[in-house]
Amino acid sequence: LHAALVVRTFRLRPFHFLLATGGGYAGYRQYEKYKEEQLEKMGIEIPIKLASEWEVSLYKSVPTRLLSRAWGRLNQVELPTWLRKPVYSLYIWTFGVNMKEAAVEDLHHYRNLSEFFRRKLKPQSRPVCCYHSVISPSDGKILNFGQVKNCEVEQVKGVTYSLESFLGPCTSTEDMQFSQTSSCSSLQNQLVTKEGNELYHCVIYLAPGDYHCFHSPTDWRVSHRRHFPGSLMSVNPGVARWIKELFCHNERVVLSGDWKHGFFSLTAVGATNVGSIRIYFDRDLRTNSPCYSKGSYNDFSFITNNNKEGIPMRKGEHLGEFNLG
């Protein structure tokens, strides 16, 4: 009996330790968040606290891709009809989903959470602005926008990432809008094809409750796709403020081509819960797949002998979607 008690106590200790340290850390993060909110209310600018290298390495060591795939598999399990309404209602309540905009409002219609997540909208719920040349490709929150300077792009104010790391090295193929180059500064110059033009960027964060399909932001032609398998860290604004080059670490699909003013690209960046990306006209694309290793990339050209212009996209046209896991 004594031995059994000792073993039991010993077994419980790691759990207690994890609970205490995890709880302590969560409490500390909440306190930090509270302090930041108070400073923001007082109009004081919050100093940027970037994650150190070991913190990024530690986060990257978490098997986020495996977790994401497990999450995806779990959400593909068909729910019994009686369970659908309570499960989806909890999701709606937690993430503030507006079901009145959904093409199908009846919750029993969606066989699993993945299908619910991919729900379509009523056509009249999102009128496409016809007066402006660039529209929002998705629902979300604007994290940052502006001009690209010195080959650095801002993911949030003051936290940058390298344009070259994000888009990958230049290719010399004819289908890309830019040619072989050796330095980063010239990459920006090479992307700008017309004199007097500048390079601009815009970052839109999609929260879990948002409509997760994305559309063409303008009239353009997609000539190239580059898929970067990578980590699947969270991309919420707090993490984007904490980890420099976050979007360069994560799995992403870069679609590039041209519009009436020159180079144009749209990149879909994955996250832990939303690990896979689908592009409707690209049937060969497989994201969040174990067969790809981090750090590599896969190119695909839409320019063929039969189609020298690539894939023409109209403003507002369906382009792709994010999927759970």
Partner 1 sequence: STIVLIFEAPKNFNFHLKPGQKIRFGEALGSL
State which residue, 54 or 131, has the beta carbon closest to partner 1.
131
- Cα distances (Å, whole numbers) of residue 53 to 33, 60, 117, 120, 236: 22, 10, 34, 40, 19
Binding string, 57-86, against partner 1, x = CB under 8 A? Answer: ------------------------------
Q: Are 225 and 255 in contact (CB under 8 A)?
A: yes
Q: Among 247, 244, 254, which residue's Cα sits nearest to residue 233?
A: 247
State which residue, 69 or 84, has the beta carbon closest to partner 1.
69
Which one of the spans 85-93, 108-116, 145-153, 221-229 is the region binding partner 1 (CB under 8 A)? 145-153
Question: For residues 147 and 202, what is the distance between their CA atoms, to the nearest angstrom?
Answer: 9
Residues 204, 219, 297, 298: which binds partner 1 (CB under 8 A)? 204
233 binds partner 1 (CB under 8 A): no
State which residue, 79 or 285, has the beta carbon closest to partner 1.
285
Angle at CA of residue 110, ends 108 and 116, nearest 5°: 125
State which residue, 79 or 320, has the beta carbon closest to partner 1.
320
134 binds partner 1 (CB under 8 A): yes
193 binds partner 1 (CB under 8 A): yes
157 binds partner 1 (CB under 8 A): yes
Q: What are phi and psi of 241, to 5 degrees?
A: -80, -20
Which one of the spans 69-77, 88-96, 208-216, 285-293 is the region binding partner 1 (CB under 8 A)? 208-216
Helix (H), strand (E) at residue 301? strand 298-301
AA letter at 254 = V
State which residue, 7 or 202, has the beta carbon closest to partner 1.
202
Q: Are 180 and 171 in contact (CB under 8 A)?
A: yes
Which residues on neighbouring strands pair with residue 123, listed in sequence order?
A: none
Angle at CA of residue 265, ends 260 and 269, nearest 5°: 155
Residues 56, 151, 159, 268: which binds partner 1 (CB under 8 A)? 268
Residues 191, 233, 243, 303: which binds partner 1 (CB under 8 A)? 191
Count residues near partner 1 (CB under 8 A): 65
State which residue, 9 or 317, has the beta carbon closest to partner 1.
317
Residues 214, 228, 242, 292: which binds partner 1 (CB under 8 A)? 214
235 binds partner 1 (CB under 8 A): yes
Q: What are phi and psi of 120, to 5 degrees?
A: -95, 165
200 binds partner 1 (CB under 8 A): yes
Tokens of 305: 């002998």
288 binds partner 1 (CB under 8 A): no
Residues 71, 88, 116, 247: which binds partner 1 (CB under 8 A)? 247
> What is the smallest separation between the CB atom of 55 and partner 1, expressed in angstroms?
21
C-beta atoms surrounding 195 within 10 Å: 5
> What is the smallest separation between the CB atom of 131 and partner 1, expressed in angstroms?
7
Q: Among 108, 109, 58, 54, which residue's Cα sits nearest to residue 85?
A: 108
Question: For residues 134 and 142, what is the distance between their CA atoms, to the nearest angstrom?
Answer: 14
Q: Are 77 and 325 in contact (CB under 8 A)?
A: no
Question: For residues 56 and 61, what is the distance between their CA atoms, to the nearest angstrom?
Answer: 8
Binding site for partner 1 (CB under 8 A): 126-129, 131-146, 148, 153, 157, 163, 166-167, 191-194, 196-206, 211-215, 217, 235, 240, 247, 259, 261-271, 274, 316, 322
